[in-house]
């Protein structure tokens, strides 16, 4: 039946086109041409907006709606809902929304509902939905409330997405950081997932069997075990409508240790978003389980290696200490010179360094004293120390050359014998010679320093001199590096002190400051015996805890007739 105003009001609407085919005369509203002006105005308003609008009119609550509202009716309710009673169209949710209609019709006051949960059956199954909407009164030409205007927005997607994000956050929050066994790991995770409105079933299977370790929610379906077996054997995720089965790799090769089953709820459509959410959820749990299992295996391996390494380190330290003690021999008896040597290992008994000292007479009768420090604190350093010490001693004894030439030949030997970077060392070689033509027992000390600390000379009057010179390059770095000799005269009662960095180095003070402190400690010790000088230096420079090895050589010029002492405290 044609109606000019109705055709005009619905002309631009797809639902309006379908509304023109409805036999309105067979409905409680009657033909559109007989509708009151107030109803016509509401219809024009309904079809003039793209916003979802539904209206009911009359005692039977006859339904009219526009294109925007069409989607809310799902696949089954449209177009039969046009001209039908709202009580019939929304029968499954009438207990929820019916009282709202009654309130508006009875009081004329609007209602407002935010994210209201409604379990609809609009597409052939019970579906969880959420709506934000307002019911407003519609009046007839006499001002009586005879209908309801519904302006609505479906918020299902937003509510569900927020809920799913919250579940992911909760799962992240309860994932165990350590692994004891599969059940202990699964308990907090299953606890969170079993409370989720999007997960109807969660199960964790051990790969052996397979056997269920923990489950919650709906009973296992017929196809579940087959998918679990397939996932465990293939190591690949299985996704079917309503279910995701995720294998959990051990992180060690291709081994699989477990499978996680997640089933969706029947009140949400299994679409791409739902499948993606379940896959991300399963992947999150599986990755965390793999990581803690792998971390445990790694930690176990580290603990094993630590124990083994500690045992090896202890054995190596014992060998290194024995080697070091073997080469640090007592000094020889030397005419006119009193020599005292001292070696003190670091407080950490297994932290063996490469400090060494030596004193010997060369073939031409000169006295050579040596002090050095191979870089490193382990068995390799101790071995390298023994090799470098032997080279200095052999070349110094046989060559009878100046200290600079001795160090040059040692450098060449380190390179030629392929001792490598393990033989990198500081060293100071000093040669004490009789001064030609002098009867006052004044001697000449010639020395060369390969990056070592400067000697300190305590004069017979108690004053101290730090024999600062420009250091040459360390041994073992460049066999062609030039080296220089330096000389100083030593008279009767003068004391020469050579030492390693363990005596003076700290993290707090600069080297110059510590050197000056050592000189201050030694000042006035000219009259003390050499053992007392050693004790004074140690007491003045070191705390109770010695952080590094300390080697000291003291050489004092004495009259030739004086009985000689060679002491090794």
Alpha carbon distance 428, 451 (integer Å): 8
Q: How confident is the model over 350-399, as pLDDT tens digits?
A: 456 688 899 999 888 889 999 999 987 777 778 888 899 999 999 999 88
pLDDT at residue 510, as a whole number: 86
Q: Average of pLDDT values for 246-274?
A: 90
Specify whether the CB–CB gap between 99 and 53 falls below 8 A. no
Binning pLDDT at 50, 70 and 90, where does residue 530 land?
very high
Q: Which residues contact 350 (CB under 8 A, 6 or more apart)?
A: 313, 314, 317
Binning pLDDT at 50, 70 and 90, where does residue 314 land?
low
Q: Whose structure tokens read 């949710």?
A: 93
Average pLDDT over the chain, rounded to an integer: 89
Binning pLDDT at 50, 70 and 90, where does residue 324 land?
low
Find the range with the poorest average confidence among 316-330, 456-470, 499-513.
316-330
Binning pLDDT at 50, 70 and 90, where does residue 329 land?
low
Question: Is it the case that residue 321 has pLDDT exceeding 70?
Answer: no
CA nearest to 373, candidates 445, 315, 443, 423: 423
Q: How confident is the model over 46-63, as pLDDT tens digits?
A: 999 999 999 999 999 999
Find the range with the poorest average confidence among 143-157, 496-510, 518-532.
496-510
Q: Provide the 8-state DSSP code for 263.
A: E
Q: Tokens for 93, please give them.
A: 């949710």
Kindly give the residue spans of alpha helices, DSSP state H, lying in 372-458. Answer: 379-399, 403-416
Q: Tokens for 276, please give them.
A: 């993606």
Alpha carbon distance 134, 129 (integer Å): 16
pLDDT at residue 296, as a whole number: 81
pLDDT at residue 333, as a whole number: 72
Question: Is it the case that residue 267 has pLDDT exceeding 90?
Answer: yes
Third-level CATH fold of 4-154: Beta-Lactamase (3.30.450)
Q: What is the CATH number of domain 329-567?
A: 3.60.40.10
Q: Whose structure tokens read 């993606």?
A: 276
The DSSP bridge partners found for residue 553 are 341, 498
pLDDT at residue 3, as a whole number: 74
Q: What does DSSP say about strands 337-344 and 566-567: parallel, antiparallel, or unpaired?
A: parallel
pLDDT at residue 438, as a whole number: 63
pLDDT at residue 563, as a whole number: 36
Q: How confident is the model over 384-440, as pLDDT tens digits?
A: 888 999 999 999 998 889 999 999 999 999 999 988 888 899 999 999 988 666 666
Specify whether the CB–CB gap between 336 and 558 falls below 8 A. yes
Alpha carbon distance 534, 341 (integer Å): 9
The domain ranges of the chain are 4-154, 160-297, 329-567
pLDDT at residue 565, as a whole number: 43
Question: In the chain, what percentage of residues exceed pLDDT 70?
Answer: 91
pLDDT at residue 562, as a whole number: 43
Q: Tokens for 36, please give them.
A: 């009151």
Q: Average of pLDDT values for 439-448?
A: 86
Q: Tokens for 32, please give them.
A: 């559109």
Helix (H) or strand (E) holding 149: strand 145-154
Q: What is the CATH number of domain 160-297?
A: 3.30.450.40
Question: What is the chain's Cα-based Rg?
Answer: 48
Q: Average of pLDDT values for 200-229?
A: 93
Is there a shared CATH topology between the 160-297 domain and the 329-567 domain?
no
- How long is the chain? 569
């Amino acid at each position: 039946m044609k109606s000019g105003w109705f055709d005009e009001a619905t002309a631009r609407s797809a639902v309006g086109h379908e509304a023109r085919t409805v036999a309105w005369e067979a409905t409680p509203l009657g033909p559109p041409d007989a509708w009151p002006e107030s109803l016509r105005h509401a219809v024009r308003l309904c079809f003039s907006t793209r916003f979802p609008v539904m209206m009911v009119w009359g005692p039977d609550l006859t339904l009219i709606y526009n294109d925007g509202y069409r989607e809310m009716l799902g696949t089954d309710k449209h177009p039969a809902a046009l001209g039908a009673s709202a009580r019939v169209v929304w029968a499954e949710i009438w207990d929820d929304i019916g009282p709202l209609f009654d309130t508006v019709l009875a009081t004329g006051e609007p209602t407002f509902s935010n994210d209201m949960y409604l379990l609809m059956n609009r597409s052939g199954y019970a579906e969880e939905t959420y709506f934000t909407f307002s019911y407003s009164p519609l009046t007839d030409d006499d001002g009586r409330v005879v209908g309801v205007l519904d302006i609505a927005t479906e918020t299902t997607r937003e509510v569900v997405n927020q809920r799913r994000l919250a579940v992911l956050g909760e799962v992240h929050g309860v994932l165990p950081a350590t692994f004891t066994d599969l059940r202990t790991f699964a308990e907090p995770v299953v606890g969170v997932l079993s409370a989720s409105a999007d997960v109807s079933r969660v199960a964790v299977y051990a790969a052996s069997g397979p056997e269920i370790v923990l489950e919650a929610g709906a009973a296992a379906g017929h196809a579940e075990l087959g998918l679990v077996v397939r996932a465990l054997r293939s190591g690949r995720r299985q996704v079917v409508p309503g279910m995701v089965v995720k294998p959990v790799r051990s992180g060690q090769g291709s081994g699989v240790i477990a499978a996680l089953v997640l089933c969706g709820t029947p009140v949400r459509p299994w679409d791409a978003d739902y499948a993606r959410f379940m896959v991300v959820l399963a992947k999150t749990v599986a990755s965390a389980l793999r990581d803690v299992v792998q971390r445990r295996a790694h930690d176990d391996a580290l603990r094993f290696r630590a124990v083994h390494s500690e045992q090896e380190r202890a054995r190596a330290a014992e060998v290194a200490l024995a080697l070091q003690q073997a080469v640090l021999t007592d000094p020889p008896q030397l005419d006119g010179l009193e020599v005292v040597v001292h070696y003190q290992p670091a407080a950490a008994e297994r932290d063996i360094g490469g400090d060494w000292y030596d004193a010997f007479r060369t073939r031409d009768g000169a006295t050579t004293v040596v002090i050095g420090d191979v870089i490193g604190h382990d068995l390799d350093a101790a071995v390298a120390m023994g090799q470098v010490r032997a080279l200095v001693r052999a070349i110094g004894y046989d060559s009878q050359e100046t200290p600079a030439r001795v160090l040059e030949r040692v450098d060449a030997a380190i390179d030629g014998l392929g001792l490598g970077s393990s033989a990198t060392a500081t060293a100071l070689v000093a040669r004490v010679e009789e001064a030609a033509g002098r009867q006052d027992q004044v001697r000449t000390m010639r020395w060369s320093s390969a990056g070592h600390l400067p000697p300190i000379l305590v004069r017979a009057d108690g004053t101290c001199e730090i024999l600062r010179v420009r250091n040459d390059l360390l041994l073992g770095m460049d066999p062609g590096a030039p080296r220089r000799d330096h000389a100083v005269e030593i008279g009767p009662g003068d004391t020469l002190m050579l030492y390693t960095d363990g005596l003076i180095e700290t993290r707090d003070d600069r080297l110059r400051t510590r050197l000056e402190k050592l000189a201050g400690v030694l000042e006035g010790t000219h009259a003390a015996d050499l053992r007392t000088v050693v004790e004074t230096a140690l007491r003045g420079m070191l705390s109770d805890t010695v952080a590094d090895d300390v080697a000291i050589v003291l050489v004092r010029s004495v009259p030739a007739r004086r009985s000689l002492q060679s002491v090794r405290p």
